[in-house]
């Protein structure tokens, strides 16, 4: 119970102090960004969630990405709607979208929704810059920050608790 209550704090510490490489942190954050941007309640969001948890990426970074970009995504809705509408309505993709819709793929994935498609495209567009930025951030910040944080007993204790949890020592 106590461990459950501390989980958010532990995960934040884990994101910064884990032994994951900067690439894993960056990919975790990128996938979290995609999940955060895309409206939930469709198969796309579920598949992205499965990617986050099924791939060896930094989960806490992904969760942070979800939190940050879910909030930012709300402000991008109108822009995403315009992009989604333009892509769906474009002559080039219309047949493709219609086939996806008739095959019941796009309704399940939510890709016939203008905002879902728009946010997904925005997210795809942002993959590279976000990856680069988060990678560099991880490279630059992860090691010094880890050293700095481990000076504190509380952080060490939290990390110990996290390791204990991972090793099955949770009471």
Partner 1 sequence: MGDGKLNFIRWKYLVPRLILLLACVASVRFGLDPLLHSLIVTSGESTTGAKVELASVETSLWNGRVVLRDLQVANPQSLMSNLLDAEHAELQLDMNALFHKRVVIKNGEISGIEFNTERTESGALEIVIDENAEPSALDPLIAQGAEWAGDWFDAASERLDADFTDQLQTPQVARALEDRWQGQGDALRKRVEELKTRGKQLEAEFREVKSNPLRGVEKLPQLQAQLKFVQLELVSIQEQIKKLPEQVKADRQALTAARKADEAFIKEHLKFGRLDGDNLTQVLLGQPVAEGTQSAIDWIVWARKRLPTNSTKQIAKQRSRGTDVTFGIAQPKFHIERLGLSLTAPISGEPMQFVGSITHVSDQPRLLAEPAKLQLMATGVVPATLEVVSDRRGDVPREELFLTCTAIPMAGQTLGKSDKLALELSPSTANIRVELVLTGDDLSGEISFTQPNFRVSPLANPNSSQTLLAALSEAFGKIDGVSAEIQLAGTLKRPQIKLTSPVGQQLADGISTAVINLASKKSETMLANVSAQMTEQLAKLESTKTKLQDDLTAKLGENQQLFESLATFSTGDTRLPVPQLGSLGGSLLRK
112 is a site residue for partner 1 (CB under 8 A): yes
165 is a site residue for partner 1 (CB under 8 A): no
Q: How far apart are CA 153 and CA 92, in angstroms?
A: 60
Which of 102, 129, 145, 154 is in the footprint of partner 1 by CB under 8 A? 102
Please tell me whether residue 103 adopts helix, strand or coil conformation. Answer: coil
115 is a site residue for partner 1 (CB under 8 A): yes
Q: How would you label 103-141 residue by residue, b for 16+ Cβ within 10 Å and e otherwise?
A: eeebeebbbbbbbbbbbbbbbeebeeebbeebbeebeee
Residues 12 to 71 in contact with partner 1, rule: CB under 8 A: 39, 41, 50, 53-56
Which of 14, 44, 58, 113 is in the footprint of partner 1 by CB under 8 A? 113
80 is a site residue for partner 1 (CB under 8 A): yes
Contact between residue 94 and residue 123 where contact means Cβ atoms under 8 Å apart: no
How many residues contact partner 1, by CB under 8 A?
27
CB of 54 to partner 1, least distance (A): 4
Whichever of 6 and 76 has its CB closer to partner 1, that residue is: 76
Whichever of 50 and 147 has its CB closer to partner 1, that residue is: 50
Q: How far apart are CA 92 and CA 87, in angstroms?
A: 8
Whichever of 55 and 143 has its CB closer to partner 1, that residue is: 55
Going from the C-alpha of 109 to that of each of 47, 85, 106, the distances in angstroms are 9, 16, 5
Contact between residue 74 and residue 37 where contact means Cβ atoms under 8 Å apart: no
Q: Which residues bind partner 1 (CB under 8 A)?
A: 39, 41, 50, 53-56, 77, 80-81, 84-85, 88, 97-98, 101-104, 107-108, 112-116, 118
């Amino acid at each position: 119970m106590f461990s459950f209550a501390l989980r958010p704090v532990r995960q934040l510490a884990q994101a910064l102090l884990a032994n994951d490489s900067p690439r894993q942190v960056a990919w975790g954050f990128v996938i979290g960004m995609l999940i955060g941007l895309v409206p939930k309640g469709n198969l796309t969001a579920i598949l992205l969630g499965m990617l986050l948890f099924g791939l060896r990426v930094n989960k806490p970074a992904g969760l942070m990405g979800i939190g940050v970009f879910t909030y930012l995504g709300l402000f991008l809705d109108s822009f995403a709607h315009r992009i989604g509408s333009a892509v769906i309505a474009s002559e080039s993709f219309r047949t493709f979208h219609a086939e996806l819709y008739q095959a019941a793929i796009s309704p399940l994935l939510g890709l016939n929704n203008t905002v879902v498609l728009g946010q997904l495209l925005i997210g795809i567009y942002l993959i590279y810059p976000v990856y680069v930025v988060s990678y560099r951030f991880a490279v630059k910040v992860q090691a010094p920050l880890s050293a700095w944080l481990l000076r504190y007993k509380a952080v060490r204790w939290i990390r110990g608790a996290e390791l204990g949890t991972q090793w099955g020592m949770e009471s």
